[in-house]
Structure formats: structure tokens, C-alpha cells
């Protein structure tokens, strides 16, 4: 079976030419990605593809591949199922037909060219100017970076490499130079360094904040300059960055021709949960532009200081967002600074905000982050999405708020009662009556009492000095949902109560310390109280022999909002080492059946 000649870049206009092939030479290849020789400027590079298989991968590329005369190998990717060969332009058709006769060859196309923008050095700039207009216009300067997740977030930047010594570029790890074929992607152009610097500046990971190591950049160099890039190198870089653990990939380049190799790499990255971002292009055109016009890539256009579309920015149905792309101050080579203009810088800003979201809310998927960026954008132009501004202008504070809201929604999933129930039990230490105070703040309070009241006061008596401003005191009863607390009975130990107060107030509690307390805890969401009279890490709230709780959602009375969820076994922002305060209640999601027992001194 012979393959398809895709030199015309679409199958409808291609043709099949079976030709008898003379075997001239054999070259042995091994490894994941190999480049044997670079293509000269007067050569044409062909990408030779193996067919897709039923498992979602590709048929194997034989290690021994015969080549026609005057044809040399350039690149090889068994992972993506292709090899690239270089040949004389006058022999392209002959070589194509010869290769198509090989049984493993599925299709062939010429390597598509890619190019990126450029930067201009400005000796008068001495720092990255965090107050520059682009960050103010997108609200990045108002986003709080404190308290974000401390786990490592990786952002790959595919361009001309990076100045590895620049102080305003974050930590570098696992990059590669596909143009020079070594593991040191040193930038000789400056554009790649500029893109890395924008992301580092937005994510707050520059030299002034060297203690924040949560952002790591993966620079992938696919061209010495912005004019010598190719889709084959792009594909290798995308796959390599994915395997290196990238959460976000910025592809700082584009071209007018599609590429099967790039498509395969993008599909591979998407399947691994990577968010892919690319500039819409700088040709002031609505012609097709790749990889930004790929369905699985977030395409970003540029706006000027007036919020109008930049004079150079491409537009069209694939544009999703716009961001400032003119007169952007960026790090440059040799620890200097440049001014940059182009959709690449707008895309880098979107990548930086996406990194902030992923860093703060690591439980969100790439598809969710992409959707949040769209829904939170500031609408420009015609109402709704349009071909010039997409969904609108990047809005960092709104995107972060939307991420917080979505994380809360994901945490508060529909209550699942299941078939079993458990108990959370508190065995109190020996003693007699103990006097405590329940402190309420203005607004809603999530409270709980860890032991029976000595006086057996009713709910009405207990909160008689609290002005609830007409609000009902609520409790949550699983399948029954929210119910009004009966004012004529005493609050049950370890039950959660939702109490409103119009002012700060202290409620005295006289507890019976000789009484043990239990609370049934059902599968799904429960509103429960802390069984301790002191702060305790969330991981120790329940019996150490039981681990079937999944997440805890505490309410912050100071902000009148939920704090980030506490996830069992998590670290960083969602760490289960975070403390639960006494006399507070919280949402706790249970996963499996069992009885939780707590037996310790108060």
C-alpha cells in the first residue's frame, strides 16, 4: 500500500504516484527525537508520516529506512510518527514518489515555515517596569500573589530560546535547542527572552521575589532568529515540553500553512492536559494562521492603548482574546531591556495570567482555565464574541475571581447520600464544667459546639443576646438539606450552625466535659463542627485510622467567603496541614463508609 502526497497541503488536491524505488542507502536511527543534519537554505524539507493506529498512536517508523540518492535525514519522532528529510528542490517530486512506495509511509508534505516577531533594544530602560501600561490595563497589577500554591508550575515557551542569566527571567528547567541540537537553549535573538520575561513578570517570579520558585520556565528553541523556524521543530518542541511536565505552552510564532506534524503534537499535548496558547499573527490579515487557528489552541490578538485592535494584529473567527501588544517593556539579551510590539507579547500576557490561575487553583483543568479566560474578558467591539476582539480584553482580576468561584462550585458538588453512614465521635477528657466563649462577628458565622451544654440551654436562650437582624439560624441535615434550627432545643454537639449577627458578640458556653459526643457523617457533603477546643490540623480532625474524607471547605468570617478547599493529602494552597479553629463548623465531603473516632485530651 502506498501513501499520500500532501505537498499541496490538503488531501482533495493531492494525488498518489506509485513508483518503483531503488534503495540507495540505509541509515540507522534510535531514540525519541534525532536530528542528523540541518537543512541548507537551498534544500526542501519533507515530512514523512506513518499512519495512525487504533490505539491513538502511530504505526512504527522503521529504524532502517532506505533513502533515494542526495536525500538526508533531518529529524525523527517515533512518538509523533514521522521523519523529516532534506532534498534538492528540483528533485522533490521524484523523492516524494520514491518514499511513497515504502509500505509504512502514509502521507508526505513539505515542512511548513514558521516565524515570530522581534524586539528593539532600548538602552534607556533599566528594569522591567512593573507599572507598565499593559499590566495596568489588564489588571495584573492588582492581583494578589500572596498565598498561592507552592507546588511547581511549568510554562514552556517555544521561540528563540532564553538568556539563561537574565535576572528578570524565572528559573529554567529541561529546555532544549532544536535548532542547534543541544540541551542549552541559549537565545541569540532576544525574542524568546522577551516572551519568558513577560510571563515571569506577570507570575511574580522575578529576582525581586526569588523565594517564589513555584513557576518554572521550559524554553524550547526552534530557531536562531524569528525567520528560520519550521513546523517540524515546533512539533518536536511541543511534544518535548509536554513530556517535561509543562502545564501551559506558549507557541510564540506562526505561519500561513497547516502542518500534520504540528497537529499531532498539539493533540498529544491536549491529551496530557496542557493549555496551548499562540499569537494570532502580525500580518493585519484574516487569512488562516497556524498554530493559532487550531481548534485546540487559544488564539490571542493585540490591542493598542486606546483598546482598538492594533494595526498589525490578525483577526478572524479563531480569535479568542486580545491583550496589549504595543510598546511592551521586556527583558532582553545580556541583562538589558527591550521594547516589543506584536501579538506574541499579547499571547505571553495571557499565558502569564493563565499561570497565575493554575498556580492558585491547581485543580482546574486546561479547558476550564481557557473557558474562564473567555468568560471573564472585558467585552470590546460588538457585543459578544466577534472576529476582531474575540471574547474581549484579558481581565486578570476577573479571571482569578472566576477561578475561585469555579473551584468552589467543583468542591460543592451535588450531595451524594449513598447507602452508608459513619460517626464522628469525640471522647472528651476527664473534668467538670468548663466555661468558654463563642465569638461571633458581623455577618454570617459557621459555628459548632464540641460538647453538650451543661445548662441544656435552648437555642433561643443561648443566642438571646445576638441580634440576627431577622435571619433564621440554620443547620444542615444531609438528605433533608438546610433546615431552620429548632429554637426550643439545645444545639446538638458537633452539628454545624449558620448564625447571623449584626455586631460582634460573645456567647458564653458552659460545657459538660464528662460527656462523650458523636455525630453521624454520611457519604457526600456534611456540615460538621470541630471536636477540639484548640486549633488542630485538618488531617487530624478525624481518627488517624480513617482517611475517607476527601475535602474540607472552611468559611472565612473575616471575608464572608469560603477559603480555598482543604484536600486530603494535598500540599500548598490546598494542604491538609491547615488548621481548623475551635467552635467552628465546616463542610466535609466523605468518600467511603466507616466510623470516625476521636479520643484525646481537649
pLDDT at 546 (0 to 100): 58
pLDDT at 19 (0 to 100): 31
pLDDT at 152 (0 to 100): 77
* 250 vs 274: CA distance, rounded Å: 10
Q: Which of 296-310, 324-338, 443-457 has the lowest mean pLDDT?
A: 443-457
Top-ranked range on mean pLDDT: pick from 121-135, 369-383, 460-474, 509-523: 369-383
pLDDT at 374 (0 to 100): 96
Each residue's pLDDT tens digit, 421-450:
344 443 334 344 457 888 899 989 999 988
DSSP labels, 379-412 = P-SSSS-BTTTBT-B--HHHHHHHHHHHHHHHHS
As a whole number, mean pLDDT of residues 396-404 equals 91
Q: CA dist 279 to 179, 339, 342, Å?
A: 21, 17, 8
Strand partners, 25: 67
Higher-pLDDT residue of 124, 595: 124
Q: Is 536 helix (H, G, I), strand (E, B) or coil?
A: strand
State the DSSP code for 74. Answer: E
CA 380 to chain centre: 25
**Is 532's pLDDT higher than 90?**
no
CB-side neighbour CA atoms (13 Å) of 492: 15
**Is 547's pLDDT higher than 70?**
no
Q: Are 442 and 503 in contact (CB under 8 A)?
A: yes
Top-ranked range on mean pLDDT: pick from 30-44, 65-79, 294-308, 358-372: 294-308
Phi first, then psi: give them for residue 464, nearest 5 degrees. -65, -30
Q: Which of 38-52, 89-103, 358-372, 414-428 has the lowest mean pLDDT?
A: 414-428
Give the pLDDT band of residue 116 (cuts 50, 70, 90). very high
* 178 vs 192: CA distance, rounded Å: 14
* 235 vs 163: CA distance, rounded Å: 23
* 459 vs 490: CA distance, rounded Å: 5
CB-side neighbour CA atoms (13 Å) of 28: 0
For β-strands 585-590 and 579-580, DSSP reports them as unpaired
Q: Is 445 helix (H, G, I), strand (E, B) or coil?
A: strand
Q: Is 286 helix (H, G, I), strand (E, B) or coil?
A: coil
**Is 121's pLDDT higher than 90?**
no
pLDDT at 471 (0 to 100): 86
Phi first, then psi: give them for residue 78, nearest 5 degrees. -60, -35
Phi first, then psi: give them for residue 380, nearest 5 degrees. -125, 160
Give Cβ neighbours of residue 449 (< 8 Å, ≥ 6 apart).
438, 491, 493, 494, 495, 509, 511, 529, 583
Q: Which of 10-14, 37-41, 297-301 has the lowest mean pLDDT?
A: 10-14
Residue 496's Cβ-count burial label (10 Å; 0-12, 13-18, 19+) is: buried
Strand partners, 83: 48, 76
As a whole number, mean pLDDT of residues 204-211 equals 47
Each residue's pLDDT tens digit, 335-349:
899 999 999 999 999
Higher-pLDDT residue of 480, 309: 309
Q: What integer best gives the mean pLDDT of the chain?
A: 83
As a whole number, mean pLDDT of residues 92-115 equals 94
Enter the pTM of the model: 0.67
Q: Are 355 and 248 in contact (CB under 8 A)?
A: yes
Q: Are 87 and 47 in contact (CB under 8 A)?
A: no
Class of domain 119-410: alpha beta
Higher-pLDDT residue of 594, 459: 459
Give percent of the chain above pLDDT 90. 50
Where do the H-state alpha helices sit in 155-247?
Answer: 191-202, 231-243
Each residue's pLDDT tens digit, 217-266:
999 999 999 999 999 999 999 999 999 999 999 999 999 999 999 999 99
* 113 vs 9: CA distance, rounded Å: 13
**Is 595's pLDDT higher than 50?**
no
pLDDT at 38 (0 to 100): 42
As a whole number, mean pLDDT of residues 90-106 equals 92
Q: Which of 43-57, 179-193, 430-444 has the lowest mean pLDDT?
A: 430-444
State the DSSP code for 534. Answer: S
pLDDT at 412 (0 to 100): 56
Give me the residue spans of the domains in the chain: 4-111, 119-410, 421-599
pLDDT at 130 (0 to 100): 64
Give the pLDDT band of residue 87 (cuts 50, 70, 90). very high
Cis peptide preceding 21, ω within 30 of 0:
no
Give the pLDDT band of residue 3 (cuts 50, 70, 90). very low
Q: Are 364 and 406 in contact (CB under 8 A)?
A: yes
Q: Which of 94, 95, 91 has the alpha carbon at shortest distance from 83? A: 95
Give the pLDDT band of residue 209 (cuts 50, 70, 90). very low
* 460 vs 464: CA distance, rounded Å: 6
Top-ranked range on mean pLDDT: pick from 73-82, 138-147, 305-314: 305-314
For β-strands 44-50 and 4-5, DSSP reports them as unpaired
CA dihedral 548, 551, 554, 555 (to 10 degrees): -130
CB-side neighbour CA atoms (13 Å) of 247: 27
Residue 589's Cβ-count burial label (10 Å; 0-12, 13-18, 19+) is: buried
Q: Which of 17-21, 118-122, 198-202, 384-388 has the lowest mean pLDDT?
A: 17-21
Amino acid at each position: 500500500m502506498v501513501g499520500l502526497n500532501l505537498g499541496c497541503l490538503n488531501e482533495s488536491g493531492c494525488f498518489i504516484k506509485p513508483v518503483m524505488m531503488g534503495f540507495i542507502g540505509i541509515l540507522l536511527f534510535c531514540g525519541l527525537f534525532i536530528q542528523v543534519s540541518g537543512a541548507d537554505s537551498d534544500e526542501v524539507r519533507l515530512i514523512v508520516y506513518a499512519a495512525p493506529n487504533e490505539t491513538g498512536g502511530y504505526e512504527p517508523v522503521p529504524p532502517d529506512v532506505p533513502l533515494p540518492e542526495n536525500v538526508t535525514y533531518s529529524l525523527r519522532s517515533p512518538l509523533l510518527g514521522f521523519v523529516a528529510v532534506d532534498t534538492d528542490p528540483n528533485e522533490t517530486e521524484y523523492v516524494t514518489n520514491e518514499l511513497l512506495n515504502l509500505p509504512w509511509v502514509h502521507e508526505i508534505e513539505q515542512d511548513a515555515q514558521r516565524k515570530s516577531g522581534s524586539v528593539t533594544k532600548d538602552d534607556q530602560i533599566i528594569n522591567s517596569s512593573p507599572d507598565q501600561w499593559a499590566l495596568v490595563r489588564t489588571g495584573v497589577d492588582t492581583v494578589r500573589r500572596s498565598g498561592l500554591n507552592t507546588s511547581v508550575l511549568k510554562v514552556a515557551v517555544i521561540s528563540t530560546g532564553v538568556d539563561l542569566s537574565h535576572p528578570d527571567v524565572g528559573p529554567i528547567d529541561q529546555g532544549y535547542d532544536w535548532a542547534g541540537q543541544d540541551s542549552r537553549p541559549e537565545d541569540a535573538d532576544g525574542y524568546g527572552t522577551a516572551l519568558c520575561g513577560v510571563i515571569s513578570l506577570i507570575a511574580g517570579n522575578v529576582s525581586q521575589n526569588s523565594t517564589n520558585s513555584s513557576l518554572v520556565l521550559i524554553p524550547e528553541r526552534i530557531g536562531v532568529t524569528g525567520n528560520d523556524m519550521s513546523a517540524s521543530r515546533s512539533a518536536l518542541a511541543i511534544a518535548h515540553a509536554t513530556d517535561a511536565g509543562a502545564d501551559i505552552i506558549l507557541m510564540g510564532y506562526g505561519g500561513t500553512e497547516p502542518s500534520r506534524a504540528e497537529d499531532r503534537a498539539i493533540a498529544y499535548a491536549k491529551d496530557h492536559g496542557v493549555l496551548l496558547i499562540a499569537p494570532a499573527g502580525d500580518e493585519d490579515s484574516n487569512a488562516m494562521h497556524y498554530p493559532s487557528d487550531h481548534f485546540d489552541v487559544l488564539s490571542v490578538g493585540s490591542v493598542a492603548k486606546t483598546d482598538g485592535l492594533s494595526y498589525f494584529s490578525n483577526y478572524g473567527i479563531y480569535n479568542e482574546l486580545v491583550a496589549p501588544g504595543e510598546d511592551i517593556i521586556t527583558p532582553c539579551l545580556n541583562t538589558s531591556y527591550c521594547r516589543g510590539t506584536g501579538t506574541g507579547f499579547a499571547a505571553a500576557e495571557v499565558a502569564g495570567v493563565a499561570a497565575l490561575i493554575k498556580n492558585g487553583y491547581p485543580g482546574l483543568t486546561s479547558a476550564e482555565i481557557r473557558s474562564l479566560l473567555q468568560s471573564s474578558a472585558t467585552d470590546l467591539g460588538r457585543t459578544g464574541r466577534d472576529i476582531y476582539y474575540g471574547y474581549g480584553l484579558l481581565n486578570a482580576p476577573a479571571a482569578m475571581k472566576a477561578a475561585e468561584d469555579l473551584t468552589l462550585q467543583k468542591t460543592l458538588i451535588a450531595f451524594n447520600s449513598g447507602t452508608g453512614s459513619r460517626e464522628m465521635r469525640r471522647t472528651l477528657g476527664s473534668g467538670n464544667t468548663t466555661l468558654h466563649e463563642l465569638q461571633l462577628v458581623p455577618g454570617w458565622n459557621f459555628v459548632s459546639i464540641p460538647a453538650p451544654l451543661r445548662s441544656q440551654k435552648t437555642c433561643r436562650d443561648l443566642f438571646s443576646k445576638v441580634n440576627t437582624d431577622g435571619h433564621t439560624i440554620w443547620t444542615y441535615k444531609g438528605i433533608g438539606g438546610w433546615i431552620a434550627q429548632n429554637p426550643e432545643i439545645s444545639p446538638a454537639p458537633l452539628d454545624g450552625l449558620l448564625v447571623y449577627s449584626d455586631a460582634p458578640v460573645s456567647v458564653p458556653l458552659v460545657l459538660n466535659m464528662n460527656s462523650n459526643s458523636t455525630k453521624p457523617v454520611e457519604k457526600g457533603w456534611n456540615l460538621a463542627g470541630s471536636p477540639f477546643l484548640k486549633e488542630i490540623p485538618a488531617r487530624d480532625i478525624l481518627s488517624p485510622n480513617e482517611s475517607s474524607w476527601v475535602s474540607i471547605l472552611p468559611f472565612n468570617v473575616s471575608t464572608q467567603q469560603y477559603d480555598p478547599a482543604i484536600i486530603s493529602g494535598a500540599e500548598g494552597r490546598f494542604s491538609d496541614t491547615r488548621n481548623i479553629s475551635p467552635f467552628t463548623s465546616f463542610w466535609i465531603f466523605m468518600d467511603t463508609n466507616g466510623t470516625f473516632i476521636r479520643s484525646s485530651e481537649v
